[in-house]
Amino acid sequence: MPGFSDRAFAAFYTATSRPLWAYVYRVTGHAADTDDIVQDAFCRVLAADISALGHDAQRRYLFRVAGNLIADRWRKEQRDRSWWSRVRPGPVTAGVTDREDHDDVSQTFASLKPRERALLWLAYVEEHTHEQIAGAFGLEPASVRVLLFRARTRLRDLLKARNAQRS
């Protein structure tokens, strides 16, 4: 099998599994989906020949794979909801989350689009640079700046609206 030795992969997994799981969970909001996506991401990394890359490049590759898997899952859910609404008219409810949201920020963050959550998480929790995020999403760094600005603005507006409802 190309790529990592057993020892190198174990070290890579130990260093990246928790941050990756936290990122995917924050974007998806579902522990079971997160477990599946993280497992698939590491399987794909094992199959790819990235052992010659530096640790940071390997980590970015892993997060990019996970981001692509999140997007694939989101598109599949959209297709499934669309199909379900054609088969059975009426409101389609989203799945129940297994996460208890205790504060406004978490609830509001969860209401953002998956891409917005991913961008904000990578920028402000994982502290990736715009260039690193651009590489993970296949974008230009200038596009990341714009998308982050929009995501922050949307989060701010949603928080303001939520606070206005309380008053």
The model scores a pTM over 0.85: no
Q: Comparing C-alpha atoms, which of 70, 73, 159, 61 is closest to residue 118?
A: 70
Q: Comparing C-alpha atoms, which of 103, 119, 108 is closest to residue 157?
A: 108
pLDDT band for position 48 (cuts 50, 70, 90): confident
Say yes or no: 134 and 158 in one domain. yes
Domain final residue pick, 74, 99, 124: 99
Distance CA 72, CA 115 (A): 12
In total, how many domains does the chain have? 2
Taking only the tens place, the pLDDT of each residue in 60-118 is 999 999 998 988 888 777 766 665 555 445 554 444 444 444 456 777 888 888 889 88
Domain final residue pick, 47, 77, 99: 99
Domain containing residue 139: 101-167
Say yes or no: 118 and 130 in one domain. yes
Say yes or no: 13 and 74 in one domain. yes
Say yes or no: 145 and 117 in one domain. yes
Say yes or no: 121 and 92 in one domain. no
Say yes or no: 59 and 122 in one domain. no
Say yes or no: 91 and 113 in one domain. no
The reported pLDDT for the residue numbered 154 is 92
Pull the structure tokens for residue 124: 């402000």
Q: Comparing C-alpha atoms, which of 101, 110, 102, 114 is closest to residue 73?
A: 114
Say yes or no: 82 and 107 in one domain. no
User: Quick check: 167 pLDDT over 80?
Assistant: no
Residue 97 and residue 29 in contact, taking contact as beta carbons nearer than 8 Å: yes
Domain final residue pick, 99, 129, 153: 99
The reported pLDDT for the residue numbered 95 is 46
CATH number at residue 54: 1.10.1740
Q: Locate tokens 């898997």: which residue? A: 69
Say yes or no: 5 and 33 in one domain. yes
